[in-house]
Amino acid sequence: MDTPSLSPRPTSIPILGWSTIAASALMIIVNLSSLVTTSALEALNLNFDSPVFAQYVPQSMKSMLDLYTYSRWWTWYGVFYFGFTLAAGVQFVRLRAWGRSALETACWIALLNALVDTILSYKIWSSAQETFTVVLRAMGGSHSAYLNPLGFFTIVVGFLLWVVPAAGMIVYLRRSAIRQTVSLR
């Protein structure tokens, strides 16, 4: 009986698979540690609601802290998303067909994540700009508005760090050589 011969596994599979596993594990750790800081910011936000203190805090600062509170949900989502991506990476390294499909799905979701993360980051950055403007005016600053271009640049770089790898992985995972290698095992 003739058995189909297994084609040699491309070296890119373990490289990309283990890179995905390592990056996902790192992002899980980063997101979990971020939850600690958002807890501290939530406690700070509660203090701003006291009538004595609230009169001295700009409304934009309250808005910014509300967005940080919302970002806590985004951070929890990140833990689960990167957990899914880590599991998909493990199965992809094991040459499981569903691992390749799950990894491709994670990449499509990453493109949506890029949009949501960029919008949230921009809103937080914009509120911070407003807060700094109010503070500088109150201190007698000659500038009527504060602009931190580094923050905006960071938002653009963050967007690209989501989109470029995700799009590249989608193209890679759809290659026939990758599909054949993974489906044969």
Does the pLDDT value for residue 60 go beyond 90?
no
Q: What is the mean pLDDT of the chain?
A: 82
185: part of which helix (H) or strand (E)? none
Rounded (5°) CA angle 21-159-66: 100
**Top-confidence residue, 18 or 41:** 18
Assign 171 a pLDDT band (cuts: 50, 70, 90).
very high
Average pLDDT over residues 39-56: 61
Query: Tens digits of per-residue pLDDT, 81-136?
Result: 999 999 999 999 999 999 999 999 999 999 999 999 899 888 888 877 777 777 66
Residue appearing with tokens 């193209």 = 171
pLDDT for the residue numbered 126: 82
**Top-confidence residue, 63 or 167:** 167
Query: Tens digits of per-residue pLDDT, 133-163?
Result: 776 666 666 655 556 778 889 999 999 999 9
pLDDT for the residue numbered 185: 58
Compute CA distances 56 → 26, 49, 114, 131, whole Å.
39, 11, 35, 12
Does the pLDDT value for residue 54 go beyond 80?
no
